[in-house]
Structure 1
């Protein structure tokens, strides 16, 4: 029992709820990450695509492992939380802006030609390795996503470790299952970015808490009840639309 308290905190049930949230968020982030990486290799010859993605997956493991080792240090830097919040808010804004664009039905893609790294390296190391280098940079950005999402839920370092580790596993084992889930319930991708926006707001609110630590609002933001509310909201906002879709086909799902 002492080990459970060490890993999950004083409230074991709350810790388990946070882990459930992290499984959902980290897995959905990994699905989105994998989709972006897939678009980056599409212009390569067919026989090179799987090799480039394999290097990308290895890079993802390495980057997430580095972030896992750095997590304890990162949570001590107070300004990283609001900065991470802005980053998550940007991800959500960029997604919803893309959803509102006319004729945007191809999902998220990356134009390699707009990347300074790709333009700087393609002439000297060739298209394949320039693509791999760009994939590794994207892996670093995606690893930061996972750490910030975990930190948004908790300051408990062992729960953050578990969250980032889930992100590593999700890249390999869980992503395909979530791809099938999103294929059947396409609205879940939008729900995921709505949750990412909420997490971004929660992280950004730490800026207020840092400068006004004695205020009533800070007490509320840092309270156990606020953490439970965010965790329950995250689970509910995924479960209720799926149940509604299964029972009433609203939001619409794809029939299998």
Structure 2
């Protein structure tokens, strides 16, 4: 197939559009994780951390696409425990799922119990290096599902790489507003952390060959986000109404 035939082939464009949409959907959880992680950094470092995190996401996906032959063999069992045969892919998913469960649980604990004295020392801040390492680890885990989807939906590696680049570009544009929204509305951070627990549990289940359809997970996330959005709108309207009414009058002056 020549270059011109490749660009004018409707099947190529159909697979590109379908794969791009799927990669964007699969990238939602990555955007949520990065948005939560950068909240622990000083404001002047958050944009840099997001850029590094999404750049690593792009690099991991392109590198893994370039080694498709090796990656496909990651599903070959390497050892068996009881009735479960584990491959390298299973181990990556298991490690990533456990990482998300531990990370989400710790963040929720600190958010509820408090890990710092806000009146004196300010919020507990992680280092840029630690944030980038954690983002890199989870980017690698999220890349596994992304690349498996790409391999299953397209026949040409050029289409796969183009779709991944488009998805990362959309994630880059979306990561800023998502992070800003979470910062303006603290309750949404707890919701985002619960998403991490949900995704972590799904990855662990996948590692044990118990696949939870992603449609169920994305529906649960969308429904919860919709409820939180309505709650945020209601809170904003209450604040506006209270501001318009003004402070209550002192007794005897009514």
The structural deviation recorded for 1:153 is: 7.4
Q: CA distance change for structure 1 residues 154 and 243 in 2, over 3 Å: closer, same or farther?
A: farther
> Aligned equivalents of 2:239 and 2:34: distance in 1?
22
TM-score, reference length from structure 1: 0.59
Q: Does 1:85 find its partner at 2:72?
A: no
Name the counterpart of 2:24.
Answer: 19
Partner-residue secondary structure (3-state), 1:36: coil
CA contact (8 A) 1:18 1:231 kept: no
Aligned with 2:110 (options 91, 98, 105): 98
> How do residues 161-180 of structure 1 correspond to structure 2 at under 5 angstroms?
166=167, 170=171, 173-180=173-180
**Residues 107-154 of structure 1: per-residue CA shift (max 9 Å, x gap):** 5522x6xxxxxxxxxxxxxxxxxxxxxx34532320222342454678
Q: Does 1:238 find its partner at 2:225?
A: yes
Q: CA distance change for structure 1 residues 147 and 188 in 2, over 3 Å: closer, same or farther?
A: farther
The structural deviation recorded for 1:59 is: 4.6
TM-align CA RMSD = 4.0
The structural deviation recorded for 1:95 is: 0.8
Name the counterpart of 2:34.
Answer: 30
> How do residues 1-256 of structure 1 correspond to structure 2 at under 5 angstroms?
2-3=11-12, 5-7=14-16, 16=21, 19-20=24-25, 22-23=27-28, 25-38=29-42, 59-60=52-53, 62-72=55-65, 76=74, 77-78=88-89, 79-102=91-114, 104=116, 107=123, 109-110=125-126, 135-136=128-129, 138-149=131-142, 151=144, 155-157=148-150, 166=167, 170=171, 173-209=173-209, 218=210, 221=211, 226-246=213-233, 248-249=234-235
Higher gyration radius (CA):
2
